[in-house]
Structure 1
Amino acid sequence: MKNLLHKWNQISLVTRIIIGIIVGVVLALTVPEGAKLVTIFGALFVGALKAVAPVLVLFLVMYAIAQHRNGQQTNMKPIIGLYLIGTFLAGLVAVIASFIFPVTLQLKESGVEGFEPPGELSEVLEKLLFNIVDNPINALMNANYIGILAWAIVLGIALRHAPDTTKNMIGNFSDAISTIVRWVINLAPLGIMGLVFEALVTNGLSALLDYGKLLVVLLGCMFFIALVVNPIIVFINIRKNPYPLVLQCLRESGITAFFTRSSAANIPVNMNLCKKLDLDKDTYSVSIPLGATINMAGAAVTISVLTLAAVNTLGIEVDFGTALILSIVAAISACGASGVAGGSLLLIPLACSLFGIPNDVAMQVVAVGFIIGVLQDSCETALNSSSDVLFTATAEYRRKRKEGKEISL
């Protein structure tokens, strides 16, 4: 058994995940009655990622800030710039695609009772500000990453003049949590097997057929951004073939994000990939959790496409200038989308309010989003999360290029 486990661990994680996907599909087709036994693996995997991620972020960021020396380059400004540019361009692509391929919806009963979307943009911004000053224990319990980041930065600054023994202790905690993360990530094949099984048995794909055109536009935009727009952004910055880096991020971050459907749960996976890419730990320990909060290209696509689908359904005339404003609002709103499954859908009523669409109608559009969420939210999260690593690496490679250093992709 020990030799078998050793050989299994020698196989690359991506290969093991693909094996897990295949096994999950086979089990779903052959023994769907074993749902409870198999789906528990997926629930445990996602639960473990969500449990370890907030503590990991707190200690990594706090230690990175505490160790920071004056004049030390962290490269955060260009990363934030790339996050914002990428999210805006995603919204713009979605608007253009919606004009070229207009989609209408069959609106029925909402079926999303209990959800309370924000009423206007100021509410989103207000929520973000209050999240910053959240109680640290509460922030950890509720995975409020804005609050966790704020407290980690403040504590890190306060600890900059602490004795080296104190900093070393925090560093030891950080290393220990990173080790736990590696243990959890090694369980990804089992977890993803359970998630695939649950998706096929519980949802199937028949419910998606009625929304084929909408899915084509949504997923087409996301694939276009992942395989065309993002590579162009990377090429402009590093002046090298971007596809090895783009495909590695999609393969090693996007696959797990696709199945966990949570940018927050994928933070440990992205941290591990950044380490594998040999990126600066002081930078990625801050940029990755920040990206899980504000780098939301997929969310901008979802908000724009579904809002314009509602506009087309109601026969509202919209010029391109107004739609362009929508892409800006979608980008800003996407930054307030929670890093959990379906987080972007509740911002659709906010965007719909730009066109005077009643809230009850907007909530029916949200219901459509939940129906197609099996694919829409999975692809959205894969795009969002893989872009966090992509843009963090791009900013670092850009700095190396300007310094005349060799870049190996």
Structure 2
Amino acid sequence: MVFVIAAFAIALLATRPFGLPRWVWPVAASLLIVALGYEPAPAAARAILAQWNVLLFIAGLLGISAGAHAAGVFHWITDFILARADGSWRRLFVGLFLTGAVIALLLSNDATAVVLTPIVYRAVTRHGGNPKPFLFACIFVANTASFGLPFSNPANVLILPHARLLPYVWHLAIPQLCAIAAALALLLFFFRREIAGSYGTTECGAPVAAVARALIAMALVVVCYFVALARGWPLGIVASAGAIVVVLAAGKNPVGALRRAGWSVVSLLAGLFVLFDAAARAGFVAWIAAHLTAAMHGSALVATASAAAGAAALSNLFNNLPVAVASSYVAARASAPVAYPLIAGVDLGPNLVTSASLATILWLTILRQYGVRVSFAEYLRLGAAVLPATLLPAILWLSLIR
């Protein structure tokens, strides 16, 4: 019964019937499971509190993104790239894609998709360009360049909450570089006609004081991330403290800046933690972990492909956020190192369909506000090429070094 309730809640989360917020379904399902006695209330509270590091990390990311946006950091970065592209749409496309990769790797994939998208749209249309290729670049680089470092995506912290920098980089840095290169090459090919030609050159001055302060604060946060990974400190504390620093450095009204952040994701995660703790209590998670552990002791290629491709497939079937939470329970209980292929699958999976990640769903919402329509088939046409091209290098590398 627990599994049925959890699966039904995740399906509702993915489809969002009646237009209700997505957090409603996992929260309602978790309350139902507690009310029916499948999960004691103290155990539900412990399940949420046990994930304090992840919740603090996500809250910190939301605050950092809100502070940087309020300061005008992303506006200045876009203007800088526009000026450096020297009027070439193709150079602008490459510059925005690579800059988005850096932002996704060092800040978060959600910031790349949600904050950069409207700025890129306004910048491209202001110069008379076709915004669609650049908007696709925003979301595909956000989903692709999100697993190379432990703090690039909240899913990474969920699945591997106590990651150490060197082992993590050894396993996933090379696949990350290959994925970025493959996605960029494919998008350049698909949009080769749309990004031909030129626009009028522009100038970009030095960043104003608020932008400079926020950039320095963000750089300090990234340095602290690396120090925390090297010393084994929780990333959640660094991110939440960093959010305070960035918001204050922005010099804007902190309440106004933070109000615009998407805090509902914290409630959504809390509900998912209770659901999967109940599933673990019922033995379902242990069953999956046992099968994955057995597979990992067989053929390296088959086992790695099963974990990565399975996580990617489930992310597209439901959404990668609940799959990441489920993967965290599986990785914690499996005796084999399944975390890395699970991270690759969960992070790259949303490259296929529009409902597979919260970032993609929010991206589509932003596009509709500007009158830009992206059909399921249009996204799938690109995703069907990008997903295998980005996931395959990770599978091959992880099976090779196992």
TM-score (ref. length: structure 1): 0.33
Higher relative contact order (Cα pairs below 8 Å, separated by 6+ residues)? 1
